[in-house]
Amino acid sequence: MASKTSMIMVGVGGMARHHLRTILKMRRNTSVVGYVEVSENQRQLTMDLHQELQIPCPPFYENIKKLVKTQGAADTAFIITPHKFHLENTIDCMKAGMDVLLEKPMVLNENEAKRLIRSRDKEGRLLVVAFPGSLSPAVKKAKAMIASGKLGTIRSISAFAHQQWQIATKGAWRQIPDISGGGFLFDTGSHMINTVVDLGGDDVGEVCAIMDNCGSPVEIRSTISGRFRSGVQFSLAAAGDSMQCCSSITVIGDKGILETGIWGERLLYRNHKTSEMKAIKTPAYKGVWEQFLKVRAGKMENPCPAEVGLRFARLMDLIRKSNESGKTIRSRALRI
DSSP-derived secondary structure for 160-192? EEEESHHHHTTTSGGG-HHHHSSSTTTTTHHHH
pLDDT at 334: 53
On whether the CB atoms of residues 86 and 109 are closer than 8 A, the answer is: no
Domain with CATH 3.40.50.720 in the chain: 5-130
pLDDT at 336: 47
pLDDT at 35: 98
Which phi and psi angles does 97 have, rounded to 5°?
100, 20
pLDDT at 275: 86
pLDDT at 244: 87
pTM confidence score: 0.95
Tell me which residues of the chain have a pLDDT lower than 50. 1, 336
Q: In this structure, which CATH number among 1.10.510.10, 3.40.50.620, 3.40.50.300, 3.30.360.10 belongs to the domain 133-284+306-330?
A: 3.30.360.10
**H or E element: which one contains 99?**
strand 99-103
Please give the CATH superfamily to which domain 5-130 belongs.
NAD(P)-binding Rossmann-like Domain (3.40.50.720)
